[in-house]
Structure formats: C-alpha cells, structure tokens
Amino acid sequence: MITSHDVARLAGVSQPTVSRALRDDPKVSEATKQRVREAALALGYSPSAIGRALSVGRSTRVGLVVTDLENQFYAHVIAPMHHELERLGHELVLITESSESGPVAEHVIGHGLCGVVLATTTVDSILPSRLHDRGVPFVYFNRTAPNVPADSVTVDPEQGIRELLADVVAKGHSRVGAIFGPRNTSTGELREQTVRAVLDEHGITLAHRDVRHGPFDFRTGHEGMHALAGRADPPTLVLCGNDVVALGALNAAAELGVAVPGDVSIAGFDDLPTSSWALVRLSTVAYDLDAMSRAAARMIVARADKPEAEPVTEVFPTRYVPRTTIGTARS
C-alpha cells in the first residue's frame, strides 16, 4: 500500500505537509500543493479513509438498518439515500437486524459508523435506547419508537387517507375490509387508527372478521386476500397497509379469479413505481419517498456533526392517487 509518507518522500516535503496539501489547507503554499499533487498522482495515491477516521475520531460511514432487504420498498429508499450520502461524501453500509454477528448495537458501535438510520423500527425495539445510551447518533426513518426521542423523517397519512376514503364512500362501499400492517410499528398503527377514525366519520365500522394484520410484505397481502375474498360473503373493498401488501392482495385476487375492481376493490399506500404499471394500476396513497430518503441522509450527517442539537423532525404530506383498483361497489 502506498501512503502519505511515500508521497512526502517523492515531493521532498514532510508527511504532514502532504496531508495538508491534499486537503487543500490554505496554510500550504500553492507551489507546494502543486508538487504534492503531482507526486500523489504519479504514485496513484489516495488517502486512507481509515487512517483519517482513526485520527479524527469519526468516520464518514452511515449505516442503514433494515430487516427485509428483499422488500421492494427498501430498494426505493436505498437508492436515493445512497446518492444523497455520496453527494455529502459519505458511504452507505447495510445492516440487518437479524444480524448473526451479535446485537446490532454492538455491531454499529464497533464498526465505527458516524451514525445510523433506522428504517424498520418497531415500537418495542431496544435498538434506539441502546444507541442512545452509547451515544451513537441515529435518525428514525418512516417508523419511530415512542420512548426514545431522536431526529425523524416520517409521513402524515391523514390527508391521503381522507381523500382515499372519500372516494371509497362516494363509490358506494360500506362493507370494507382491511389488511393492516403490524401493530408494533408506528406506521402500521397510525394508518390503522386513521383509517378507522375517518371511516367512523362516514359511519362505517370495520367488521372484525374483515380485518387482518401482518408484516408489510407480499405474503401478508397474498394470504390476507385469500382469507378475505375466499369467503362466501367478502367485503367489497380491501384497504391494504401498504403497496407491497396490496400487490400481494392483487395477485391473490388474480389467482382466485375474483375481478378487481369488479368483484373487489383494493387500495394501497406508498405509490411505489410498480403500482403505476399498466398491469397493476393500483389506487393508493402517495408521498415523496425519494425526498424522504434524501432528507434522512442529510439529517443523519447533520446529526453526526452536532450530536447535542435539538432533535428535528420532518413530516411528509400524503395525497390520494386514484387509479383503477377502486370501482363502484357491487350491490
């Protein structure tokens, strides 16, 4: 490996001068900088980020903690988050909660990340408090945990759900079912409560047998729809916890031969790219996931810079995107 000492030797300066010159320190003369840059180029030298990290006591690597990497939702957060981090001179390292290499908190601390973004927090996860105790900067992305305050980027589902349900009611649905997300996530819980409250304003109550819960994945929607639509007397509409769940439901409907929206209407939440496919055309609730992901990136680097600043929180509005999976209620 070639180091700043090699460059120093070639340029005929001291090693610290190489360090300063390459970081464009104003205290170094232009002539020297020039000489150093040439030497560095000649040797193909690039400074070791790890030497630097050890020296300054902080790295430029942020971790993204996710449980389900396979889930397409996360592809759409990883991409923009990575780009924004790169723009800020940081790297993205992936961490999953199911880490076999021991507790995530230890992993995070040991691996010298300057901060982490938590994308799959549950209400009962211990990670936030562990990170807090160890002084590791972090931000909540999308989901939050109630007990440990920290920066967060979230979405406010209300407006989108109101618009969606207004359409649902206008189309004559009164027998509505739902496949909600997990109860132990802030997003799952908030969306469910909002749906129930707004439905209530319209005089509609969800029948217990028309409701399912499960992880925000394809399978939940798939199995949920089989359960709900496979019955003699199914609801005319099924609200899904998110688009991936709705995609599962849509496919289950196709398997069952139940027409959407002829026999049953379906709604999602997230408006992923797949939802606008001609083959899908899912009516859903949208928000700017791309901007959210980038905001989280900016937030974590800012936080790493000023660990003591007041927690900030950014919330993104939602809107209804009607497509073709919600039709007039069959009578």
Partner DNA sequence: CTGAAAGCGCTTACAG
- Residue 77 to residues 22, 80, 237, 288: CA-CA distances in angstroms? 34, 6, 29, 11
Q: How far, rounded to the nearest angstrom, does the alpha carbon of residue 208 sit from its chain's CA centroid?
A: 30
Please identify, among the stretches 51-59, 130-138, 180-188, 264-272, the one whose residues bind DNA according to the rule CB under 7 A: 51-59
Run of H or E residues at 118: strand 115-118
Please identify, among the stretches 12-20, 70-78, 174-182, 312-320, the one whose residues bind its own copies according to the rule CB under 8 A: 70-78
176, 210, 182, 214: which is closest to 195 by C-alpha? 176
Residue 232: partners with Cβ closer than 8 Å, 6 or more residues away: none
Which residue of 30, 100, 308, 310 would you call a contact of its own copies, by CB under 8 A?
100
Nearer to DNA by C-beta: 32 or 274?
32
- 8 A C-beta contact, residue 173 and residue 237: yes
- Compose the 125-164 pattern: x for residues touching its own copies by CB under 8 A, - for all others: --------xx------------------------------
Please state, in angstroms and rounded to a whole number, the distance separating the CA atoms of residues 303 and 152: 11
Report long-range pairs for 50-54 (Cβ below 8 Å, ≥24 apart). 53/112
Q: Is 134 in the site for DNA (CB under 7 A)?
A: no
Q: Is 141 exposed, middle or buried (0-12, 13-18, 19+ CB in 10 A)?
A: buried
How many alpha carbons lie under 13 Å from residue 277 in its C-beta half-sphere?
9
DSSP letter for 114, please.
S
- Compose the 21-40 pattern: x for residues touching DNA by CB under 7 A, - for all others: -xx--xxxx-xx--------
Q: Is 279 in the site for DNA (CB under 7 A)?
A: no
- Map the footprint of DNA across residues 54-113, applying CB under 7 A: 54-57
- 8 A C-beta contact, residue 91 and residue 60: yes
250 binds, among DNA, its own copies, none (CB under 5 to 8 A by kind): its own copies
Which residue of 250, 285, 292, 296 would you call a contact of its own copies, by CB under 8 A?
250
- 8 A C-beta contact, residue 37 and residue 21: yes
Please state, in angstroms and rounded to a whole number, the distance separating the CA atoms of residues 104 and 113: 12
- Compose the 192-231 pattern: x for residues touching its own copies by CB under 8 A, - for all others: ----------------------------------------
Q: Is 3 in the site for DNA (CB under 7 A)?
A: yes
Q: Is 326 in the site for DNA (CB under 7 A)?
A: no
Please state, in angstroms and rounded to a whole number, the distance separating the CA atoms of residues 157 and 162: 9
Q: Is 10 in the site for DNA (CB under 7 A)?
A: no
Please identify, among the stretches 16-24, 81-89, 94-102, 115-123, the one whose residues bind DNA according to the rule CB under 7 A: 16-24
For residue 52, the minimal CB distance to DNA (Å) is 4
Q: Is 56 in the site for its own copies (CB under 8 A)?
A: no
- 8 A C-beta contact, residue 121 and residue 296: no
For residue 225, the minimal CB distance to DNA (Å) is 51
Task: Provide the binding-site residues for its own copies, judged by CB under 8 A.
Answer: 1, 44, 46-51, 53-54, 57, 59, 61, 69-70, 72, 74-76, 78-79, 82-83, 86-87, 89, 91-96, 99-101, 106-107, 109-112, 133-134, 247, 250-252, 254-255, 273-274, 277-280
Task: Provide the binding-site residues for DNA, judged by CB under 7 A.
Answer: 1, 3-5, 13-17, 19-20, 22-23, 26-29, 31-32, 45, 47-48, 50-52, 54-57
